[in-house]
Amino acid sequence: MLAARCRRAYLGAMGTHHHPINDTAALKDAARTQLIDRGEQWTEMRATVFEALATFDSPASAYDIAEEVSRRRGKRVAANSVYRILDLFVGANLARRVESANAYVANEHPGCLHDCIFLICDQCGKATHIDDDRLTAEVRDVASKAGFKAARPVIEVRGRCGECER
Amino acid sequence: MLAARCRRAYLGAMGTHHHPINDTAALKDAARTQLIDRGEQWTEMRATVFEALATFDSPASAYDIAEEVSRRRGKRVAANSVYRILDLFVGANLARRVESANAYVANEHPGCLHDCIFLICDQCGKATHIDDDRLTAEVRDVASKAGFKAARPVIEVRGRCGECER
DNA sequence: ATCGATAATGTAATGTTGTAACCTTGCACA
DNA sequence: TGTGCAAGGTTACAACATTACATTATCGAT
């Protein structure tokens, strides 16, 4: 199962590591399990939002997602409903917010709680996700040395991805 | 002069360092010089926007700034005028955008081009700015190793400042 | 000094992102 | 059966950002 696998990776090494790539179905299932474990419900609506989110290949705005969910459900779903669910997902580590894009991505390894690093291409808009616990620990450390209690590091690198750079 | 002083600090060491604190007048003067050096005009409007920006003690939204500028000029100044000038300032390193707050802060050392790290307090809203070239270089390096050409690292730590934590 | 080119700012409208308040539905369980 | 609560719907609005086009200011060339 995804979460266990990730935990192993997380505990095993403090350096950069990778997560297996998952198809949407497995990812969705992992998300469902994760949410239920937290005592939350896995409803049709939430499932649809998660699926919609997971099928975008770039960070998607809440409005993008609302549109996709509306399409899938065959009826208009308002943005604020989507926001509620996205907030829930972010809180449960099923999704992440990309601050510099006002957009969201599915967490490829639900339940893992790394601080994460996003590389966002200004050309094609795609975001890739890196885990580097040593580096994020350093960011927290620098904050801490400044007398600041870090709750949530936001590390997002804007630039050009390999594809677009070529 | 500020810029020269900063350049020395920047070239001199690749580690954490600090910049002298400046009063608004000196800061404004440094900003003016910096902008003129880039072949841009230093107009009344721009001066007012810069002053307004510099007097906020937390990151200010474009609308906050528009309001303050309106007050100072005694007539309504529209948000888009402010956005234009803020974009110019950001491009000239006179100001920075805080992505996770949709807001702007004056650059305390105009003309310096560090990647910067912000610590933003979720309680009081204040942002403090840290330069740590070693750490930001590492962030760029991690991106680079992933085949990504880093243009602009966004490193913002959300949490509690020393004041609020007490 | 004035003319013309260009840069800066104004005006109005609109698009996008995010929240708040309140209502309805459906389900669990006394 | 009722009643309590979580999820989601509806409506309205607040906050952030951009676009297109008109007007005014600035500056260099003459």
Whether residue B4 is predicted with pLDDT greater than 50 in this model: the reply is no
Residue A5 is predicted with a pLDDT of 38
The end-to-end CA distance of chain A, in Å, is 37
The CA-based dihedral angle spanning residues B106, B112, B118, B120, taken in that order and rounded to the nearest 10 degrees: -10
Closest nucleotide to the alpha carbon of A101, via C1':
C17
What is the rounded average pLDDT for all residues in chain B?
89
A128 CB neighbours in chain B (<8 A) are 146, 148
Residues of chain A predicted below pLDDT 70: 1-22
Q: What is the pLDDT of residues B103-155, one digit of tens each?
A: 999 999 887 889 999 999 999 999 999 999 999 999 999 999 999 999 999 99
Residue B22 is predicted with a pLDDT of 56
Q: List the one residue out of B16, B10, B52 whose CA is nearest residue B31.
A: B52
Residue B150 is predicted with a pLDDT of 98
CA–CA distance, B106 with B115 (Å, rounded to integer): 15
Q: Residue A60: what residue type?
A: A
CATH class of the domain comprising B2-165? mainly alpha
**Whether B90 contacts chain A with CB within 8 A:** no
Are B122 and A151 an interchain contact pair (Cβ–Cβ within 8 Å)? yes
Question: What is the CA B5 to chain-centroid distance, rounded?
Answer: 17
Nearest CA in chain A to B126: A148
CB count in 10 Å sphere of residue B78: 11
> For testing the chain A interface, which of B100, B139, B144, B163 should be mutated: the one with the most A CBs within 10 Å?
B139
Whether residue B7 is predicted with pLDDT greater than 50 in this model: the reply is no
Are B99 and A156 an interchain contact pair (Cβ–Cβ within 8 Å)? yes
Residue A19 is predicted with a pLDDT of 52
Whether residue B65 is predicted with pLDDT greater than 50 in this model: the reply is yes
Q: Where are the domains of chain A?
A: 2-165
Residue A140 is predicted with a pLDDT of 98
Rounded-to-5 percentages of helix, strand, coil across chain A: 50, 20, 30
Residue B6 is predicted with a pLDDT of 47
Nearest CA in chain A to B156: A154
- pLDDT-derived band at B10 (thresholds 50, 70, 90) equals very low
